[in-house]
């Protein structure tokens, strides 16, 4: 409260043409205590405040990416709410206001930062921070209900997830926005037809490649959008650095391909571990392990561990169960070499939500321009709620 009063007094002094009494380390300290969401108006107080805001955003603690959760009703697709978690300020932010999105089909997410909607006639996708900007293209030639989708450079890759009456459930199509049109490519290699859907496959994206991992078997392959081919002579191999892994997912964090695996079996889970994957040799080096007390809270009322998923950006990984996301776990890989800082936060806004709703997750680092466009332009409003967070080193 004292910091807010100082900020208000400083802004009033600036409007009256008076110099701000705060400089140097004192001003930096004041700015560091302001929640990230309020840095935009702070930026316009004075030039010294502008410098302090830029310095604050460059700080590693402010570089932690936000987790965005879209909650969509299965009965009414237009009934969708958006909540953002800012780990540096430890707050949940509910985004409200007029929406420019027409939810004509179920909302889905792909490789941490992309939302999309797919119907037989249209494919819509968005990759900006709070997904205000959507692009529409004609739908793929093959009718799909649960495909793997990846935005790789200028290419949209849609693989698997076909309807039962389609000839090939492993079929792959590419839409290049630089030269519009859908093109059929080589089908997904060595993946069982019953597993060729986003329910069973985890996807990660680099500059020109899409990586696929079968969550239960560890079958792994990659698709190059430049050559339109799958990797290797056989097209796939087993990405399990430890045979005890029974379920795993992949993502990119800080430019590194990350593998997150559950060890043991669903009734007797031994641990959750993180590996960094070399994209050339595919050698896996273990870099982290979730504390047992956190892993235990991922179990349901029958003491069975729920399937996990991840969203990642920069050096930050969020781990959660997309079906029951009461607790969100996060791992900061930048704290120390070979050691991670783990934390968790409760989704307090879900207290009055039905868990049968659809929960769609994305993750992204925010900039000052992102904040200005998302929260301070137009009539969009937000509510800020302090989160309940636990940190474990």
Burial of 181 (0-12, 13-18, 19+ CB in 10 A): exposed
Q: Are residues 90 and 56 in the same domain?
A: no
Range of the domain at 41: 23-62
User: Is 17 inside any structural domain?
Assistant: no
User: Is 180 inside any structural domain?
Assistant: yes
At residue 234, the pLDDT reads 58
370 by DSSP, 3-state: which? helix
Give me the sign of the Cα torsion angle 57, 63, 64, 70.
positive
Q: Are residues 133 and 41 in the same domain?
A: no
Q: Are residues 56 and 184 in the same domain?
A: no
Domain boundary among 6, 34, 62: 62
At residue 317, the pLDDT reads 95
User: Is 1 inside any structural domain?
Assistant: no
Q: Please report, in angstroms and rounded to a whole number, the separation of the first and last CA atoms in the chain.
A: 29
Q: The domain spanning residue 224 has which CATH number?
A: 2.120.10.80
Q: Are residues 53 and 101 in the same domain?
A: no
Q: Each residue's pLDDT tens digit in the chain (393 positions)? A: 444 454 455 545 544 444 556 667 788 788 888 888 788 888 778 888 888 888 877 776 677 899 999 998 888 888 888 899 999 888 888 887 656 678 888 999 988 889 999 988 899 998 877 787 889 999 999 999 899 999 998 899 999 988 876 678 899 999 998 888 899 999 998 888 888 899 999 999 998 899 999 999 999 999 999 999 998 545 568 899 999 999 999 999 988 999 999 999 888 889 999 999 998 888 999 999 999 889 888 876 666 778 899 999 988 999 998 888 889 999 998 865 556 889 999 988 876 666 678 899 999 888 777 777 766 655 456 677 777 677 775
Domain boundary among 62, 82, 111: 62
Q: Are residues 85 and 98 in the same domain?
A: yes
Q: Are residues 279 and 311 in the same domain?
A: yes
With vertex at residue 148, the alpha carbon angle to CA 306 and CA 367, rounded to the nearest 5 degrees, is: 80
Domain boundary among 13, 35, 62: 62
Q: How many domains does the chain have?
A: 2
How many other C-beta atoms are found inside a 10 Å radius of the C-beta of residue 128? 15
User: Is 239 inside any structural domain?
Assistant: yes
CA distance 179 to 157: 14
Q: Are residues 277 and 242 in the same domain?
A: yes
Q: Are residues 201 and 321 in the same domain?
A: yes
At residue 2, the pLDDT reads 45
Q: Are residues 293 and 314 in the same domain?
A: yes
The structure tokens listed for 56 are: 């604050």
User: Is 361 inside any structural domain?
Assistant: yes
Give me the sign of the Cα torsion angle 214, 315, 367, 377.
positive
φ and ψ of 58, to 5 deg: -80, -15
At residue 240, the pLDDT reads 93
CA distance 127 to 144: 21
User: Is 305 inside any structural domain?
Assistant: yes
User: Is 8 inside any structural domain?
Assistant: no
Q: Radius of gyration (Cα) for the chain, nearest Å?
A: 22
How many Cα neighbours within 13 Å face the side chain of 72? Answer: 22
Host H or E run for residue 114: strand 114-118
Q: Are residues 30 and 141 in the same domain?
A: no
The structure tokens listed for 100 are: 């420019």
The structure tokens listed for 217 are: 């078997």
User: Is 4 inside any structural domain?
Assistant: no
Residues near 213 by Cβ (< 8 Å), separated by ≥ 6?
Answer: 201, 202, 203, 204, 219, 220, 239, 248, 249, 250, 259
Q: Are residues 197 and 293 in the same domain?
A: yes
Q: Are residues 69 and 55 in the same domain?
A: no
């Amino acid at each position: 409260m004292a910091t807010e009063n100082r900020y208000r007094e400083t802004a009033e002094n600036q409007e009256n043409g008076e110099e701000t009494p705060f400089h140097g380390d004192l001003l930096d300290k004041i700015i560091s205590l302001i929640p990230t969401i309020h840095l935009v108006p702070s930026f316009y107080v004075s030039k010294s405040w502008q410098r302090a805001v830029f310095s604050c955003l460059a700080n590693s603690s402010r570089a932690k990416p936000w987790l965005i959760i879209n909650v969509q009703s299965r009965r009414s697709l237009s009934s969708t709410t958006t909540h953002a978690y800012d780990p540096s300020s430890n707050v949940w932010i509910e985004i409200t206001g007029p929406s420019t999105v027409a939810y004509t089909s179920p909302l889905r997410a792909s490789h941490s930062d992309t939302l999309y909607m797919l119907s037989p006639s249209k494919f819509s996708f968005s990759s900006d921070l709070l997904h205000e900007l959507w692009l529409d293209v004609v739908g793929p030639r093959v009718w799909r209900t649960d495909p793997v989708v990846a935005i790789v450079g200028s290419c949209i890759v849609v693989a698997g997830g076909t309807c039962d009456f389609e000839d090939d459930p492993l079929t792959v199509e590419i839409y290049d926005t630089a030269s519009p049109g859908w093109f059929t490519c080589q089908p997904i290699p060595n993946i069982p037809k019953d597993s060729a859907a986003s329910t069973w496959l985890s996807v990660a994206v680099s500059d020109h490649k899409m990586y696929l991992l079968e969550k239960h078997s560890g079958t792994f392959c990659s698709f190059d959008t430049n050559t339109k081919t799958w990797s290797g002579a056989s097209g796939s191999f087993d990405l399990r650095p430890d045979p005890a892994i029974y379920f795993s997912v992949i993502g990119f964090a800080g430019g590194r391909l990350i593998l997150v695996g559950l060890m043991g079996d669903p009734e007797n889970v031994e641990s959750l571990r993180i590996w960094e994957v070399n994209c050339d040799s595919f050698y896996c080096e273990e870099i982290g392990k979730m504390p047992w007390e956190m892993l235990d809270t991922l179990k349901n009322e029958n003491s069975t561990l729920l399937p996990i998923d991840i969203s990642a950006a920069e050096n930050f990984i969020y781990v959660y169960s997309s079906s029951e996301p009461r607790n969100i776990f996060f791992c900061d890989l930048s704290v120390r070499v070979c050691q991670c800082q783990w934390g968790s936060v409760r989704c307090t806004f879900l207290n009055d939500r039905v868990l049968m709703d659809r929960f769609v997750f994305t993750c992204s680092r925010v900039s000052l321009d992102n904040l200005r466009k998302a929260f301070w332009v137009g009539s969009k409003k937000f509510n800020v709620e302090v989160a309940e967070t636990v940190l474990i080193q």
